[in-house]
Amino acid sequence: MTTIALLTTALLFGGVTLFSFGFAAFLFTSLPAETASPLIRSAFPHFYLCVIITSALAGVSAVASDTMSGVLLLGITVTTILARQILMPMINAATDGGQKKQFKVLHAGSVVLTLTHIVIAAYVILRIANP
């Protein structure tokens, strides 16, 4: 199970990092904002679902051999569910309502959450790889 935990956590780390720093940045530098914004908005539910599934698999796989790693990964699962079901609709509503200040605050929260997930995944990889 440790190998599965390590591989799924590495997939989680790579996927979140690529989406955050690669895909999103690529869209906004390659497409006009009026095209990139709806595209990224439609991608986020799928991104969050991928993070939920991957972090849950990694967490369940890790918990038997490293309880702390398992709990941290399952924490990513829970906070991503909240982000997908609560935070993302709030961000979309602020955007649709033209509430720029509210959007900035909520978006900053989602960025901090995502960066926290990346740091946690990296920490777990190091914990599992170097027991």
Indicate the residue type of 26: F
Q: How far is CA 100 from CA 62, 79, 93, 94, 105, in A?
A: 41, 24, 11, 7, 9
Q: pLDDT tens digits, residue range 93-130?
A: 999 999 999 999 999 999 999 999 999 999 999 999 98
Task: Report the C-alpha gap between 37 and 49 in whole angstroms.
Answer: 19
Q: pLDDT tens digits, residue range 48-92?
A: 999 999 999 999 999 989 999 999 999 999 999 999 999 999 999
Domain count, the chain: 1
Domain hosting residue 53, numbered range: 2-129
Residues 6 or more apart whose CB falls under 8 angstroms from that of 21 comprise none
Write down the pTM of the prediction: 0.92
